[in-house]
Structure 1
Amino acid sequence: MEATLKKYWGYDSFRPMQKEIISSALAGRDTLAILPTGGGKSICFQVPSMMREGICIVVSPLISLMKDQVENLCARGIRALAVYSGMSYRDIDIALDNAIYGSYKFLYVSPERLQTEIFRVRLAKMKVNYLVVDEAHCISQWGYDFRPDYLRIRDIRAIIPDAPVIALTATATRFVADDIMKQLGFPESNLLVSGFERPNLKYVIRESENKLGQLLKLCNGVAGSGIVYVAKRKSAEDVAQFLVSQGIDVAAYHAGMNGRVRSDIQQEWKSGAKRIIVATNAFGMGIDKGDVRFVAHYEMPASPEAYFQEAGRAGRDGKQAYALLLWNENDLARLKKTGKAAFPPLDYIKDVYQKVFSYLGIPYEEGAMSSRKFDLQDFCRKYKLFSSSAYYAIKYIEMSGYWSLTEEIDIASRINMLVEREGLYYQQLSGDLETLLSVIMRMYPGLFGGYITIDEEKIAAAGHYSVLSVEAKLKMLDARRILKYIPKVKSPILNIVNERLYEKNLLLPKDEYASRVERNMARIEAMEAYVRTAASAPEKFLIDYFGLK
């Protein structure tokens, strides 16, 4: 076990509870592990998989996280790949074939892919050593981030009955933990917990009408790297601007930024070139940075689960760190208002459901098991809807299992040749266009077999062009009907499960709606209790809330 850890990761010893989790997995037992953020969850399934023949299937909800994990494994010389929404059928087909025949050790899969026929057929041909469920709290309707797609994980166990499950999460109450094991079909309870008590991390709750002043005091008083969490994109920009004006080395980060800009900011922060990030909760998942000296919440998070996960990003190296939560009565009022807004009236939700299908041009009784690009802002402009209300309606329909909306992802450029190889000789193309086609044909052997994904930057490097020149030439070839060129886009993907239903067939039960509203408000009430009553012993409050030692 230690030899595998040393060989691939360079570590001499395991972190607390990692060895026990790995031993449980190696013994063939279904295992649920609850470890703190940054507790090394990935090691808990990557090490045992490297010690066993076959491939490890990892179900993960975040595409960006999957990409990072695959990149990190490949950098260690471990073969890994991922299948997720936004990939072409051809690319998925190739990836799944590689998972069967290509000596790969890890296949990361987004949960909505589990129900597709192509995945299930190929899965049966794979020699699977473990089925890993990351962010396992998503499988429980009692959890704070329920995703119905996760419920299908149990179905695929019948296809790979000999593969033990390793389920991992950083945030689950005892009740949710029991539900996770039930939903995944554990034959017996097997829960391993670590890290709820962290002596090096000091939790501080501070009520203040001058939160900017308190935040500045923290930034000046605690040396080293930090994260400041805010609730809104505008807050990220405003708070960052204030801190910069006070001479603090800081950058804003939120989902409204260009993906490349976000990536650059994140890398600067990880490397230490940028000291502090002011971010919405779009920041932090999967980031491995041990020397974060403080995490501050400038605005209250919506649940103890979210707070515990975000605050836990401080002090992973075991050295002294701080988790500061700033609040006032206005914050609490805003949080309660947002909590109510998160559940629009059922009639409004049903109306949004129909409008989404109309926007996508999908008629009644069609659209099942399809994926479409979905621009929320454009949708709201077209139907004159408030974006926040429409978003919450779409997420509620997702919780009800009718579709799922991914994070914003890069969808690679694609081309499809409209002229056969032999026919190219009869086309009167300029030298530049002909040369570009020659470069593309050398780089992509399967060019004449249907749509393929391409990378304009690699084509530019191979042909000594600028990227803009490649894009312009591809558009010319498209205009000449030599090929069909679909430029890359950045868009969320709506994965539709059922065909478009008539309103009478759209089941959104009132009692289930009421129950979800109640659970959401209970989490907000728990946050209120935390800030009002836990100042003298915040860690004890959190441990009691989760019911886990």
Structure 2
Amino acid sequence: MQPDLFHNILRENWGYSSFRPLQEEIIQSIWEGRDTLGLMPTGGGKSLTFQVPVMAMKGICLVVTPLIALMKDQVDNLRERGIKAAAVYSGMSRDEIITTLENCIFGDYKFLYVSPERLSSEIFIAKLQAMDVCLLVVDESHCISQWGYDFRPSYLKIAEIRTLLEGVPLLALTATATKEVVDDIQEKLLFKEKNVFRMSFERENLSYVVRTVENKTAELNHILQSVPGSAIVYVRSRQRTAEVAQSLRKAGISADFFHAGLSHEDKVFRQNAWKMNDCRVMVATNAFGMGIDKPDVRVVIHLDLPNSLEEYFQEAGRAGRDGERSYATILYTKADSAKLKKRIADSFPTRDFILRVYEALGNYYQIAVGAGYNDVYDFGLQEFCQPYKLPFLQTHHALKILELAGYIEYTEEIDMRSRIRFLVYRDDIYSLHLEKEMDALVHALLRNYTGVFADDVYIDESLLAVKTGKSRREVCEMLIALSRAKYIHYIPQKKTPFIVFSTSREETKFVSISRSVYEERKKRFEKRIFSMIDYAEKADVCRSRMLLIYFGEVTAVDCGHCDVCLGRNATGLPNWLFRRIGNKLKTYLEQRGSVRLNELVDAVSDKDENAEETRDRVIPVLRFLVDTGEFVLKDDEVALQPPKIHCLRERLTDQSSV
């Protein structure tokens, strides 16, 4: 490795003086040309593990990611640093895609971000073979595994792309993956050899808490008044984000709300206000947080349970990235369990219902049987459901299942920001004889945005309004006029859900929903749901240990600062200390069999009066274990109760079934 080279790149382009844990090891592996899987928790700095080495390589890095908003943000961030980057994703026109791909072939670009759905298009495959690709990166790589919580069939196409990129190393990245998913990722991505770099998921500064309450609103207010600092409150519905934020403001707590349905300007404004601490609490759906690196979040509160421990761990992990004591809290009622179980039926509607939705979709767009292949249609869920009297939520999931089965591509509410590209040469602008207002707008575009003659560039009409002294509406109207005059290519912002027919329309009797798409996915979904419920309802196992064991860290120990560890049992000791002393007593007895009482107490006790395991604390634990029948005390001799050895050890040390 060339440490000086990479540290110089890091410092010159990103302004950091050192790498975070595991980043250098992953960079080294890539530099050696090895297929690599990096498991790094949210906020661990995944993007730098490929961006830094690629800056030292010849050629372009191909990055596959399903997160279009994050894709755009990373492209914008790279461009701001003077690094040439581009993106191709669903919703772009054919001309836009061709122009972007040709720029990547001839324009000395370093990064091309692409959504997995675009990988198999004829245009992309043809252009890819003309590119000098130095590295293939697969972000959110758990999406390739049907064992994962967010399987996307489009990810399976990556293996086909690998055959076109002979000798090009691959870097797979994910923040959450169980052991089965880790193995599956490497198999599906055709790793030449297993090669995993894993950061422990343990967060020593993060205290996990579950509170069973009657009044969530009152408890939420109490927590936010007790724990100072920035906070995120997660809920399931968009409507509830606004309701909870309003309730907090009435209680005198600075709060705003965030969800995918907001305009781009609203999202940016609210996100920035929260990041700058002008707003203390953000009440949000799970649309908030991806790509946000705010280190001083002191508490993340879930008012509703996520669908899985993977989702919960990722969202809870946005607290305390600065290493200071922080809290991840779930407010729970028994009704939450029933609501979570109902999501199983909502997420997996009956096959007859799925076929009904497919038939309605073809009729809605008036597509004949045998027609429609690769056709793209703007789509509004509400507008589609109303004439056919279809329930919104189940229809949404039916469309997702049809996507997994390969019949359609269903993309929800992509926030397409406004963008422009000049169609005239720079030297010709001054001979256009524009009106004064138009001329001022053109100059504002040229002063504030670079690359407008070579590529589509995202713009902000509100910024241009400030620069020109006009209203946002007036700026939009002038841009439209310039576009009609063929001086610029202007695409206004709009929210663009759409449907693509991946195959020609089939008769419903020939539509096949495979077992792997339906029954097997449903079974895994149920398992994740019940693991989430188990986490919320268990009150006798360390929260951190439950999470770590779920992700394969079977040697995890009690954290000592979650609500379970800090709770007290009948001995009056905190649970974490009771368990630690109990385990030491059992280990000693397993090694030596029957021993005298004083010998056992002395062996486990620490003579330092400031220690946690003093004689005064060991004796109550020993007495409790004798009273409950775990130990046998006879004639001053202590032994384990033989039939219960396995049961007890399982209860205290093996929670792998969580």
* TM-score over 0.5 (shorter chain): yes
State yes or no: 1:513 paired with 2:518. yes
Letter of the structure 1 residue corresponding to residue 501 of structure 2:
I
- Deviation, structure 1 residue 470: 6.0
- Residues 483 and 101 from structure 1, CA distance in 2 versus in 1: closer, same or farther, beyond 3 angstroms? closer
State yes or no: 1:287 paired with 2:282. no
1:331-378 deviation digits (Å, cap 9, x = unpaired): 111111122211110011011112223223332222223332211111
The correspondence for 2:182, drawn from 167, 172, 177, is 177
State yes or no: 1:162 paired with 2:170. no
- d(CA) in 1 for partners of 2:159 and 2:130? 18
Q: How does 1:296-375 map to 2 (within 5 A)?
A: 296-375=301-380
Structure number with higher relative contact order (C-alpha < 8 Å, ≥ 6 residues apart) = 1
Show the counterpart of 2:129. 124
The correspondence for 1:82, drawn from 82, 87, 98, is 87
- Deviation, structure 1 residue 398: 1.6
Letter of the structure 2 residue corresponding to residue 18 of structure 1:
Q
Q: Is contact 1:85-1:493 (8 Å) kept? A: no
State yes or no: 1:387 paired with 2:369. no
Show the counterpart of 2:157. 152
Q: Is contact 2:441-2:464 (8 Å) kept? A: yes
Task: Tell me the matched-pair count.
Answer: 530
Q: How does 1:38-53 map to 2 (within 5 A)?
A: 38-53=43-58
1:161-215 deviation digits (Å, cap 9, x = unpaired): 1211101111110001111111101111111110311111111111111222221
The correspondence for 2:473, drawn from 468, 473, 482, is 468
Q: Is contact 1:211-1:326 (8 Å) kept? A: yes
Q: How does 1:488-507 map to 2 (within 5 A)?
A: 488-507=493-512
- Residues 172 and 302 from structure 1, CA distance in 2 versus in 1: closer, same or farther, beyond 3 angstroms? same
Show the counterpart of 1:228. 233
- Deviation, structure 1 residue 250: 0.7
- Deviation, structure 1 residue 410: 3.8
Show the counterpart of 1:136. 141
Letter of the structure 2 residue corresponding to residue 375 of structure 1:
G
SS in 2 for 1:261: helix
- d(CA) in 2 for partners of 1:377 and 1:357? 16
- d(CA) in 2 for partners of 1:477 and 1:53? 39
- Residues 402 and 322 from structure 1, CA distance in 2 versus in 1: closer, same or farther, beyond 3 angstroms? same
The correspondence for 1:112, drawn from 114, 117, 121, is 117
Show the counterpart of 1:526. 531
**For structure 1, which segment, 517-526 or 477-486, has the greater mean C-alpha deviation from structure 2 after superposition?**
477-486
Show the counterpart of 1:409. 414
Q: How does 1:178-193 map to 2 (within 5 A)?
A: 178-193=183-198
- d(CA) in 1 for partners of 2:96 and 2:306? 38
Show the counterpart of 1:32. 37
- Deviation, structure 1 residue 479: 11
- d(CA) in 1 for partners of 2:484 and 2:231? 51
Letter of the structure 2 residue corresponding to residue 545 of structure 1:
Y
Unaligned runs of 5+ in 1: 417-430, 445-451
**For structure 1, which segment, 369-378 or 44-53, has the greater mean C-alpha deviation from structure 2 after superposition?**
369-378
- d(CA) in 2 for partners of 1:481 and 1:201? 56
Letter of the structure 2 residue corresponding to residue 340 of structure 1:
A
Q: Is contact 1:436-1:463 (8 Å) kept? A: no
- Deviation, structure 1 residue 227: 0.6
- Deviation, structure 1 residue 16: 1.4
Letter of the structure 2 residue corresponding to residue 246 of structure 1:
A
Letter of the structure 2 residue corresponding to residue 387 of structure 1:
F
SS in 1 for 2:92: coil
- d(CA) in 2 for partners of 1:470 and 1:264? 19
The correspondence for 1:59, drawn from 53, 58, 64, is 64
- Residues 513 and 200 from structure 1, CA distance in 2 versus in 1: closer, same or farther, beyond 3 angstroms? same
- Deviation, structure 1 residue 133: 0.5
Letter of the structure 2 residue corresponding to residue 105 of structure 1:
K
**For structure 1, which segment, 467-476 or 308-317, has the greater mean C-alpha deviation from structure 2 after superposition?**
467-476
- Residues 207 and 55 from structure 1, CA distance in 2 versus in 1: closer, same or farther, beyond 3 angstroms? same
- Deviation, structure 1 residue 505: 2.5
Q: Is contact 2:206-2:320 (8 Å) kept? A: yes
**For structure 1, which segment, 257-266 or 153-162, has the greater mean C-alpha deviation from structure 2 after superposition?**
257-266
1:37-80 deviation digits (Å, cap 9, x = unpaired): 11111111111111211111111101111011111112222211
- d(CA) in 2 for partners of 1:459 and 1:250? 29
Show the counterpart of 1:425. none
1:417-473 deviation digits (Å, cap 9, x = unpaired): xxxxxxxxxxxxxx9999969999xx99xxxxxxx9997949989998655346557
State yes or no: 1:244 paired with 2:249. yes
- Residues 438 and 97 from structure 1, CA distance in 2 versus in 1: closer, same or farther, beyond 3 angstroms? farther
- Deviation, structure 1 residue 534: 5.1
- Residues 173 and 534 from structure 1, CA distance in 2 versus in 1: closer, same or farther, beyond 3 angstroms? farther
Letter of the structure 1 residue corresponding to residue 333 of structure 2:
N
SS in 1 for 2:331: strand
Show the counterpart of 2:283. 278
State yes or no: 1:22 paired with 2:27. yes
1:310-332 deviation digits (Å, cap 9, x = unpaired): 01111111121111111111111
Q: Is contact 1:85-1:371 (8 Å) kept? A: no
- Deviation, structure 1 residue 242: 1.4
- Deviation, structure 1 residue 260: 2.1
- Residues 82 and 483 from structure 1, CA distance in 2 versus in 1: closer, same or farther, beyond 3 angstroms? closer
Q: Is contact 1:414-1:486 (8 Å) kept? A: yes
Letter of the structure 1 residue corresponding to residue 341 of structure 2:
K
Q: Given the two structures, how large is their TM-score scaled by the length of structure 2? A: 0.74
SS in 1 for 2:47: helix
**Identical pairs, percent:** 47
1:510-529 deviation digits (Å, cap 9, x = unpaired): 57522221111111110111
- Residues 120 and 243 from structure 1, CA distance in 2 versus in 1: closer, same or farther, beyond 3 angstroms? same
State yes or no: 1:258 paired with 2:263. yes
Q: Is contact 1:172-1:546 (8 Å) kept? A: yes
Q: Is contact 2:263-2:415 (8 Å) kept? A: no
- d(CA) in 1 for partners of 2:471 and 2:241? 35
Letter of the structure 1 residue corresponding to residue 70 of structure 2:
L
Q: Is contact 1:173-1:548 (8 Å) kept? A: no
- Residues 494 and 519 from structure 1, CA distance in 2 versus in 1: closer, same or farther, beyond 3 angstroms? same
- Deviation, structure 1 residue 548: 3.7
- d(CA) in 2 for partners of 1:318 and 1:361? 57
- Deviation, structure 1 residue 29: 0.8
- Residues 74 and 413 from structure 1, CA distance in 2 versus in 1: closer, same or farther, beyond 3 angstroms? closer
- d(CA) in 1 for partners of 2:356 and 2:228? 51
State yes or no: 1:13 paired with 2:1. no
Letter of the structure 1 residue corresponding to residue 122 of structure 2:
E
- d(CA) in 2 for partners of 1:116 and 1:245? 52
- d(CA) in 2 for partners of 1:335 and 1:462? 49
- d(CA) in 2 for partners of 1:467 and 1:232? 30
Q: Which has the larger radius of gyration?
A: 2
Q: Given the two structures, how large is their TM-score scaled by the length of structure 1? A: 0.88
Show the counterpart of 2:207. 202
Q: Is contact 1:139-1:147 (8 Å) kept? A: yes
Show the counterpart of 1:428. none
- d(CA) in 1 for partners of 2:349 and 2:112? 38
